């Protein structure tokens, strides 16, 4: 796992956006896995700016979101489909029919999970998967104790996750306790995983993810087994790591090597 420690959340967003921009330069019809939550918003803002300023185009891109609340229709303001429209899709040139979010109001949600897997397969798999991390180490809505080889399915949310996300719901709004989420096995098949974490509240989860053990108690720890994961954190989220200086040293060495090889 490559661990990149940066000064603040803005630098994290820019570093993440650079990865997506490079991927688009290399493959205009890339397949992106996308995430919701507070953390990726700055990265999406950065991509929108690059689209507006530099004509970075998403016209050939297909996207698959990680998860959705079960029971919320796409037009519900707390649904993740609505979130993606607001924070990204409505502001770039992506084709609406190429954006997929698990269907929160499917008539047959179990079948919908299998269909989602088939869609990802038919699109050729995910080139770059963006992830956040929960304070409890979840990725997508794969909560602690999730099967480490799981596929897209219905998951029960933990009390901690429900409480963490309560800030998005009004006092009278009912907050779903179930979700549809890509599985950990689905995420592990992505060619590149980019996980962003910012703020001190994520420091313990980041430590568990990086330093292990690999365990269903911290679903993100399985990424130690992924051949191409980049973890991008700010200083606060790196605060629990035993040896952050080592990762900074590696990153400086990598940059020097790429410069010497004329690759940056
Ligand atoms: P957050 O959520 O970005 O809102 O902290 C991350 C997650 O739960 O995966």
> What's the rounded Cα separation, in Å, for the pair 188 and 130?
12
Catalytic residue, candidates 46, 67, 127, 234: 67
138 tagged catalytic: yes
Whether ligand 1 lies within 6 angstroms of the CB of 134 is answered as yes
Domains and CATH numbers, the chain: 2-260 (3.40.50.1360)
pLDDT of residue 174: 87
> What's the rounded Cα separation, in Å, for the pair 185 and 176?
24
Catalytic residue, candidates 46, 138, 142, 164: 138
Check if the beta carbon of residue 70 is closer than 8 Å to that of residue 152. Answer: no
pLDDT tens-digit profile of 222-255? 999 999 999 999 999 999 999 999 999 999 999 9
76 tagged catalytic: no
Q: Tell me the pairing of strands 31-34 and 62-65.
A: parallel
User: How would you label 80-93 residue by residue, b for 16+ Cβ within 10 Å and e otherwise?
Assistant: bbbbbbebbbebbe
To the question of pTM greater than 0.75 for the whole model, the response is yes
136 tagged catalytic: yes
Check if the beta carbon of residue 70 is closer than 8 Å to that of residue 101. Answer: no
Residues of the chain with pLDDT under 70: none
Residue 160: partners with Cβ closer than 8 Å, 6 or more residues away: 134, 135, 136
pLDDT tens-digit profile of 25-51? 999 999 999 999 999 999 999 999 999
65 tagged catalytic: no
Name 99's bridge partners. Answer: 63
SS3 call for 4: strand
Distance 261 CA to ligand 1 centre (A): 37
């Amino acid at each position: 796992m490559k661990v990149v420690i940066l000064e603040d959340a803005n630098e994290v967003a820019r570093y993440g956006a650079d990865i997506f921009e490079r991927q688009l330069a290399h493959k205009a019809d890339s397949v992106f896995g996308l995430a919701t939550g507070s953390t990726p918003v700055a990265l999406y803002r950065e991509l929108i700016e690059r689209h507006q300023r530099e004509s970075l185009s998403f016209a050939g891109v297909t996207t698959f979101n990680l998860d959705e609340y079960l029971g919320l229709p796409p037009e519900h303001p707390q649904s993740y489909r609505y979130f993606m429209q607001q924070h990204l899709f409505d502001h770039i040139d992506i084709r609406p029919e190429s954006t997929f979010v698990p269907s929160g109001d499917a008539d047959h949600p179990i079948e919908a999970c299998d269909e989602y897997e088939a869609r990802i397969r038919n699109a050729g798999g995910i080139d770059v998967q963006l992830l956040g991390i929960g304070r409890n180490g979840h990725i997508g809505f794969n909560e602690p104790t999730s099967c480490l080889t799981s596929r897209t399915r219905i998951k029960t949310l933990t009390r901690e996750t429900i409480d963490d996300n309560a800030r998005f719901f009004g006092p009278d709004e009912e907050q779903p306790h179930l979700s549809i989420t890509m599985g950990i096995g689905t995420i592990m098949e992505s060619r590149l995983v980019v996980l962003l974490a910012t703020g001190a509240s994520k420091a313990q989860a980041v430590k568990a993810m990086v330093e292990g053990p690999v365990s269903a108690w911290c679903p993100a720890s399985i990424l130690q087994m992924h051949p191409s994961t980049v973890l991008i954190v700010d200083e606060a989220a790196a605060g629990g790591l035993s040896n952050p200086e080592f990762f900074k040293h590696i990153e400086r060495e990598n940059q020097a090597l790429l410069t010497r090889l004329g690759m940056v």
